[in-house]
């Protein structure tokens, strides 16, 4: 009997100490970032607290489990007040449209400083559900020492995939397991669509109803076949076919000379001590290469307890001082980028070139509510082409056929 009571008391005590103490106003902010990027966001949150006495920002970091956590919390009607967001179509019904607030505070926010391409990714049916806080475009990293040792000229802006393949072929060395380039057999379709755009096509029609003739267009199949052929001719190593050694690991170990990636690889590559350069994505023929634009956008829950406070916080995150603090991605404000010298720096400048030369595209996932399921078939087609080392058209046609039932 005593034991039981003791346990009950211990339990009660333990539970009491863990419950949060009451504060004047607590703003919940959920993020998927970890490590340094998370630390930066925490310091931005502390700055916001300093500027707004009586407000506590509770930073909730879920890392890799972000999507699961958000699904549960959203589904149960208990989302955080402010959150990082990428899947706007899935959550739009529970997010607060911001276009009126943006219009109201336009002068203060200096929107001309932010590229319209960055606003486009969080807009559905004319409603804006997120403010960007940082972004990245896609580029090619290359190993300067390897190029010098092989006596090959470094890639230049305006280069083509043929140039890349010609260079890559010269790095192949079976003895040291060295390749010129790496092709991801299971790319994120969101990033992969840039190659469709670059080759003059897209995944889905502008009205979001048709994939036949788009996803499986000749231009699309050409893209897939080209990458498959690079694997076949050993110009590139295939990533993610049973081996999850990442492209960045191979690049940092000097096993690939060129590596297509984005800002998320930058810190790792810089700290690896590799002598590297950065160049824009190659063109298909003479059409300027297009880039997928990945942004960390901030959204507000529709039922946030303090919508005005939440909005202040979101605005603060896209303010010049907060944007200047971020190092894991690129500044959404051109004034900050210029002030930091990034637009002149040869390492960072290609990212901005990619942003400039990318004409505004709407990503497929914003255009069809069933895109998640359709995309699964597309992923399989890409993977099948890479394993097959060809036959893109047949695999894409099958993907289109299997997607038909999601398009009505």
Partner 1 sequence: MRKTALYGALIFLSALFVAPFVWTLITALKSQSDLVAFPPVMWPETWHWENFAEAWGKQPFNTFLKNSTIVVVLSTIGQLFSSSLVAFGFARFRFWGRDPLFILLLATMMIPWDVKMIPLYMEFNALGWINTLKPLIVPAWFGEAFFIFLLRQYIMTIPMEIDEAARMDGANSWQIYWRIHLPLMAPALVLVGTFHFMNAWNDYLGPLIFLNDQSTYTLPLGLALFKGLHETDVTSIAAVTIILCLPPLVLFFLAQRYIMDSALGSSVKG
Partner 2 sequence: MTLADQPLSSLGQSRRRRSIAPFLFISPWILGFVFFTLGPLLFSLTMSFYDWPVVGQRDFVGLNNYTTMLSQDPQFWESLAITAKFAAIFVPFNIGLAFLLAVLLNAKVIGSGFFRTIFYLPSVISGVALVMIWTWIYASNFGLLNYFLGLVGVQGPNWLGDPNWSIYAIIFASLWGLGGTMLILLAGLQSIPKELYEAARVSGVPAWAQVWHITLPMLSPMLLFTTITSIISAFQQLTIALLLTKGGPLGSTYFFAMYIYDNAFKYHDMGYAAAMSWVMFVIVLVLSAIVMRSSSAFVYYEGEVKAQAGGNDA
The contact set with partner 1 (CB under 8 A) reads: 7, 10-11, 14-15, 18-20, 28, 32-35, 37-38, 58-66, 68-69, 71-73, 75-78, 80, 177, 245, 248-250, 252-253, 255, 264-265, 267-268, 271-273
CA distance 322 to 300: 18
Please list the residues that pair with 160 across neighbouring strands.
283
249 belongs to the binding site for partner 2 (CB under 8 A): no
Answer yes or no whether residue 268 interacts with partner 2 by CB under 8 A.
Answer: no
CA quadruple 341, 346, 348, 352: dihedral, nearest 10 = 90
CB of 372 to partner 2, least distance (A): 5
Binding map of partner 2 across residues 204-243, x = CB under 8 A, - = no contact: -------------------------------------xxx
From residue 148 to residue 187, what is the string marking binding to partner 2 with x (rule CB under 8 A)?
A: -----------------------------x--------x-
Please tell me the distance from the alpha carbon of residue 1 to that of residue 356, in angstroms, as a whole number.
74
User: From partner 1, partner 2, none, which one binds at residue 186 (CB under 5 to 8 Å depending on kind)?
Assistant: partner 2
Q: Which does 286 bind (CB under 5 to 8 A by kind): partner 1, partner 2, none?
A: none
Residue (115 or 136) nearer to partner 1, CB: 136
Angle value at C-alpha 66, between 47 and 327, nearest 5 degrees: 40
Q: How far apart are the first and last CA of the chain?
A: 65
Q: How far is the CB of 253 from partner 2 (least distance, A)?
A: 12
Going by C-alpha positions, the residue among 176, 125, 168, 123 that lies closest to residue 150 is 168
For partner 2, the binding residues (CB under 8 A) are: 1, 4, 67-68, 71, 74-75, 90-94, 177, 186, 241-245, 370, 372-373, 376, 380, 383-384, 387, 402, 405
């Amino acid at each position: 009997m005593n034991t039981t009571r003791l346990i009950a008391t211990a339990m009660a005590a333990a539970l009491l100490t863990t419950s949060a103490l009451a504060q004047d106003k607590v703003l919940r902010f959920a993020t998927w970032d970890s490590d340094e990027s998370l630390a930066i966001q925490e310091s931005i949150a502390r700055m916001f607290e300093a500027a707004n006495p009586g407000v506590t920002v509770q930073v909730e970091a879920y890392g890799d489990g972000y999507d699961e956590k958000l699904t549960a919390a959203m589904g149960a009607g208990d989302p955080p007040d402010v959150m990082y967001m990428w899947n706007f179509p899935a959550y739009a019904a529970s997010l607060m449209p911001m276009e009126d607030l943006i219009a109201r505070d336009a002068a203060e926010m200096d929107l001309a400083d932010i590229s319209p391409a960055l606003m486009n990714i969080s807009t559905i049916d004319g409603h804006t559900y997120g403010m960007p806080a940082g972004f990245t475009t896609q580029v090619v990293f290359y190993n300067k020492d390897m190029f010098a040792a092989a006596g090959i000229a470094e890639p230049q802006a305006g280069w083509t995939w043929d140039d890349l393949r010609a260079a890559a072929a010269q790095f192949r060395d079976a003895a040291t397991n060295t390749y010129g380039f790496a092709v991801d057999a299971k790319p994120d379709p969101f990033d992969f669509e840039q190659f469709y755009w670059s080759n003059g096509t897209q995944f889905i029609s502008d009205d979001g109803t048709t994939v036949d003739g788009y996803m499986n267009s000749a231009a699309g199949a050409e893209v897939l076949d080209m990458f498959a052929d690079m694997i076949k001719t050993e110009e590139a190593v295939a990533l993610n076919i049973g081996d999850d050694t990442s492209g960045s690991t191979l690049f940092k170990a000097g096993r690939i000379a060129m590596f297509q990636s984005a800002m998320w690889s930058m810190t790792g590559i810089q700290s690896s001590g590799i002598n590297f350069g950065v160049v824009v994505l190659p063109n298909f023929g003479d059409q300027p290469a297009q880039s997928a634009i990945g942004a960390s956008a901030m959204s507000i829950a529709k039922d946030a307890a303090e919508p005005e406070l939440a909005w202040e916080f979101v605005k603060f995150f896209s303010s010049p001082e907060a944007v200047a603090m971020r190092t894991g991605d690129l500044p959404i404000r051109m004034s900050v980028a210029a002030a930091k010298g990034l637009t002149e720096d040869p390492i960072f400048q290609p990212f901005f070139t990619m942003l400039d030369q990318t004409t505004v595209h709407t990503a497929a996932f914003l255009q069809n509510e069933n895109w998640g399921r359709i995309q699964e078939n597309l992923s399989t087609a890409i993977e099948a082409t890479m394993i097959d080392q060809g036959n893109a058209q047949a695999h894409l046609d099958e993907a289109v056929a299997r997607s038909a039932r999601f398009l009505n």
